[in-house]
Structure 1
Amino acid sequence: MVQIFNEDLVSWYLITLKLKETVIARIQQSPIPTPTAPSSIDPEKQHQEHLQIRQHHHQRIMSNPETGHKFEEKTNKTPDHSEWVINIKEKLDQARRENTTSAWSKMCIYRVPQCLLKSDDKAYIPRTVSLGPYHHGRRDLRTMDRHKWRALHRVLKRTQHDISLYLDSIKEMEQHARACYEGTISLSSNEFVEMMVLDGCFILELFRGAIEGFKKLGYSRKDPIFAMRASMHSLQRDMIMLENQIPLFILDRLLGLENGDPHQRGLVAKLAIQFFDPLMPTDESLTSSSSSSSFKNLTTFDPFAEQGGLHCLDVFRRSLMRVGPKPEPKHWINRWSSQANLVVADKRRQQLVHCVTVLREAGVKFKKEKTDRFWDIKFKDGTLSIPRLLIHDGTKSLLLNLIALEQCHLDCNNDITSYVIFMDNLINSPADVAYLHYHGIIEHWLGTDGEVVDLFNRLSEEVLFDIDGSFLSQLSEQVNRYYNYRWNAWRASLRHNYFNNPWAIISFLAAVVLLLITFTQTFYAVYSYYKPLS
Structure 2
Amino acid sequence: MVAVFNKDVLSWYLITLKLKETVDANLNKSPSPSPHWQALPRSLLVANGTPGAAETLTRQDRDQQAAAPAQSSPAHSPKPQDPEWVVTIRGKLAQARAEEAACPWARLSVYRVPKSLREGDERAYMPQVVSIGPLHAGKRRLREMERHKWRALHHVLKRTGHDVTAYLDALRPMEERVRSCYDGRVAWMPANDFAQCLVLDGTFVLELFRGALDGAKGFVDDLGYSRHDPVFAMRGAMHAIRSDMILLENQIPLFVLDLLLGIQLGHPEQTGAVASLAVRFFDPLMPTDTPLHRKDRFKLESSVDADAAAAAAFDPLSNPMLHCLDVFRRSLLRAGMQPTPPPAARLWLKKWSGLRRVADKRRQQFVHCVSELREAGIRCRRRRNTDRFWDIRFDKGVLHIPRILIHDGSKALFLNLIAFEQCHMDIATPGGNNITSYAIFMDNLINSAEDVKYLHDRGIIEHWLGSDGEVAELFNRLCLEVVFDINDSYLSGLSDQVNRYYDHKWSTWVASLQHNYFTNPWAIVSVVAGVFLLLLTMMQTFYSAYSYYRPPA
Tell me the TM-score normalized by structure 2. Answer: 0.79
Aligned twin of 2:543: 524
Aligned partners of 1:345 and 1:460 also within 8 Å? no
Aligned twin of 1:278: 284
Which string of whole-angstrom CA distances, capped at 9 and with x for unpartnered residues, describes residues 370-426 of structure 1?
110001111101111100010000000000000000000012211000000000011
Is 1:254 paired with 2:260?
Answer: yes
* More off after superposition, 323-332 vs 247-256: 323-332
Matches of 2:117 and 2:73, distance apart in 1: 58
| Structure 1 residues 90 and 365: CA distance shift in structure 2, 3 A | closer
Matches of 1:518 and 1:290, distance apart in 2: 62
Aligned twin of 1:451: 470
Give the match's secondary structure for 1:420: helix
Aligned pair partner of 2:372 in 352, 358, 369: 358
Is 1:135 paired with 2:140?
Answer: no
Unaligned runs of 5+ in 1: 1-56, 292-302
Identity %: 54
Aligned twin of 1:385: 400
Aligned pair partner of 2:219 in 194, 197, 214: 214
Alpha-carbon offset, residue 362 of structure 1: 1.0
Aligned twin of 1:308: 320
The total of aligned residue pairs comes to 464
Is 1:153 paired with 2:154?
Answer: yes
Aligned partners of 1:329 and 1:469 also within 8 Å? no
Structure 2 counterpart of 1:353, which letter? V
Structure 1 counterpart of 2:397, which letter? G
Structure 2 counterpart of 1:205, which letter? E
Alpha-carbon offset, residue 326 of structure 1: 2.2
Aligned partners of 1:353 and 1:426 also within 8 Å? yes
Is 1:196 paired with 2:198?
Answer: yes
Is 1:405 paired with 2:420?
Answer: yes
Which string of whole-angstrom CA distances, capped at 9 and with x for unpartnered residues, describes residues 170-227 of structure 1?
1122111111111131111111111100000000001111014110211111111111
Which string of whole-angstrom CA distances, capped at 9 and with x for unpartnered residues, describes residues 440-474 of structure 1?
10000000100001100110100011210111111
Matches of 1:307 and 1:284, distance apart in 2: 27
Aligned partners of 2:437 and 2:489 also within 8 Å? yes
Unaligned runs of 5+ in 2: 1-60, 298-314
| Structure 1 residues 89 and 123: CA distance shift in structure 2, 3 A | closer
Aligned pair partner of 1:502 in 516, 521, 526: 521
Matches of 2:89 and 2:541, distance apart in 1: 104
Matches of 1:493 and 1:129, distance apart in 2: 55
Matches of 2:67 and 2:320, distance apart in 1: 75
Alpha-carbon offset, residue 137 of structure 1: 0.8
Matches of 1:233 and 1:252, distance apart in 2: 24
Aligned twin of 1:369: 383
Matches of 1:497 and 1:341, distance apart in 2: 45
Measured on the aligned residues, the alpha-carbon RMSD in Å equals: 2.5
Alpha-carbon offset, residue 77 of structure 1: 3.6
| Structure 1 residues 362 and 65: CA distance shift in structure 2, 3 A | same
Matches of 2:166 and 2:229, distance apart in 1: 28
Aligned pair partner of 1:435 in 444, 454, 457: 454
| Structure 1 residues 485 and 91: CA distance shift in structure 2, 3 A | same
| Structure 1 residues 211 and 285: CA distance shift in structure 2, 3 A | same
Structure 1 counterpart of 2:193, which letter? E
Structure 2 counterpart of 1:179, which letter? S
| Structure 1 residues 530 and 175: CA distance shift in structure 2, 3 A | same
Aligned twin of 2:98: 94
Matches of 1:79 and 1:505, distance apart in 2: 88
| Structure 1 residues 85 and 343: CA distance shift in structure 2, 3 A | closer
Alpha-carbon offset, residue 366 of structure 1: 1.3
Structure 1 counterpart of 2:191, which letter? S
Aligned twin of 1:51: none
Aligned pair partner of 2:441 in 403, 422, 434: 422
* More off after superposition, 441-450 vs 103-112: 103-112
Which string of whole-angstrom CA distances, capped at 9 and with x for unpartnered residues, describes residues 72-128 of structure 1?
934834896996687366336415524xx6x21111110000110024111000010
Alpha-carbon offset, residue 64 of structure 1: 3.5
Question: How is 1:25-174 mapped onto 2 (pairs within 5 angstroms)?
Answer: 61=65, 64-69=68-73, 73-74=77-78, 76-77=80-81, 87=91, 90-91=94-95, 93-94=97-98, 97-98=101-102, 103-174=104-175
Structure 2 counterpart of 1:116, which letter? L
Matches of 2:82 and 2:320, distance apart in 1: 55
Matches of 1:484 and 1:249, distance apart in 2: 51
| Structure 1 residues 65 and 522: CA distance shift in structure 2, 3 A | same
Give the match's secondary structure for 2:399: strand
Aligned partners of 1:110 and 1:182 also within 8 Å? yes
Give the match's secondary structure for 2:405: strand
Aligned twin of 1:33: none
Aligned twin of 2:37: none
